[in-house]
Amino acid sequence: MFRFEILKHDTGTGARLGRIHTAHGTVDTPAFMPVATQASVKALSPAEVESLGFEMVIVNAYHMYLRPGHKTIEKLGGLHKFMSWPRPITTDSGGFQVLSLSKTRKVKEEGIVFQSHLDGSSHVLTPEKCIEIQESLGVDIMMCLDECPPYPSTPEYMKKSVGLTTRWAKLCKEAQKKHDNALFGIVQGGVFPDLRRESAEGLTGIGFDGYSLGGLGIGEDSARTCEITESTLAHLPPEKPRYLMGIGKPGDIAQAVSAGVDLFDCVIPTRNARNGTLFTSHGKLVIKNARYAEDEGPIDDNCGCYTCGNFSRAYLRHLYMSKEILVLRLLTLHNLSYYGKLMTDIRESIARGGFSVLLNRVKSPGGKD
């Protein structure tokens, strides 16, 4: 059922317009996936997320495994029904969360031994278990189990890690039983181009429905992220979708699209909203700043979202300083509306042959708060 088609290539850059076909509908690419960590995009309903133009979300397999349990979700009809999201869903492998959330973990040949961040219980996440979890959830795009080493890591450690991730990827593919679900391999290798090439070639030798670039945006600067992304894409099959994991700054997204990336996800728009930082056509705006205490204008006069159409900066600042729950919803609505429009503008600019103009505009917004 899974199929990816390229509709148009941009003239002058590597950007491409595409479409992903899944059992739960299509996704126009380049696309951004809002993060629904606990099967929920924080502060918004599924209908609101869909209304902002998003066609796919990403859910955290690690969290679904620990709570409420993948078998429970399977008994309840699968993840789509469980969270009332009718469109495509991607899940990650859980490898990154084991790294970031577990204080006690051991990476072994057979998998990752870790303690739950919820109750301290011990678990072993193997490649086979990783696929079992994601297939039980019934998602559209699954990720292979990978090791995501911290930044910085030595070349010696990273080389061993790449070898382990490749061996796990092979076991993941062999464990796959439901082929309506797409399976992506995750390219690792840190900031070392030769190891990125080795990882990409090892995964393409196995053969996957798409390829993800993991282990970026965790400490290196944006220029290095872009450099590694572009060099790695040269070693991936152009007819397959490419997914840059965890990268979410608007300028970085546009730069990665110009290199040929099709999918993105990041907590930046939703987390920044909850922290009072907003994305606008003029740059970032920090709503708690005193300068907005009597400002009658909207967050962004170029934005048509519900928040900008109905509420002033002064009111939103009041809600934020008063710690009112409503502000979390209103600011999240705005930030995700910004991202939805950003991706629509990117796709439309590629379609009409004007992506380079948009790239320069996004990389250099009109101003900063």
- Model confidence at 104, pLDDT cuts 50, 70, 90, reads confident
Across residues 242-249, what is the average pLDDT?
97
Judge whether residue 368 has pLDDT over 90: no
What is the model's pLDDT at position 360?
93
- Model confidence at 251, pLDDT cuts 50, 70, 90, reads very high
Q: Tell me the torsion sign for CA atoms 168, 171, 176, 180.
A: positive
What is the model's pLDDT at position 99?
66
So which residues are the catalytic ones? 92, 265
Across residues 160-183, what is the average pLDDT?
96
Please report, for the chain, the start and end positions of each structural domain, with discontinuous segments joined by +: 3-266, 273-363
Judge whether residue 271 has pLDDT over 90: yes
Spatial distance between the Cα atoms of 115 and 185, rounded to a whole number of angstroms: 25
List residues bridging with 27 in a β-sheet.
Answer: 20
pLDDT tens by residue, 185-222: 999 999 999 999 999 999 999 999 999 999 999 999 99
- Model confidence at 57, pLDDT cuts 50, 70, 90, reads very high
Residue 276 near residue 31 (C-beta atoms within 8 A) = no
The secondary structure of residue 104, as a DSSP letter, is S
What is the model's pLDDT at position 367?
45
Across residues 233-253, what is the average pLDDT?
97
- In order, the DSSP letters of 81-121 are HHHT--S-EEE--SHHHHHHH-SSEEEETTEEEEE-TTT--
Could you tell me which CATH class the domain 3-266 is placed in?
Answer: alpha beta
Spatial distance between the Cα atoms of 249 and 348, rounded to a whole number of angstroms: 20
Average pLDDT, the chain: 95
Q: What radius of gyration, in Å, describes the C-alpha atoms of the chain?
A: 20
What is the model's pLDDT at position 6?
98
Spatial distance between the Cα atoms of 111 and 271, rounded to a whole number of angstroms: 31
What is the model's pLDDT at position 199?
98
Full-model pTM: 0.97
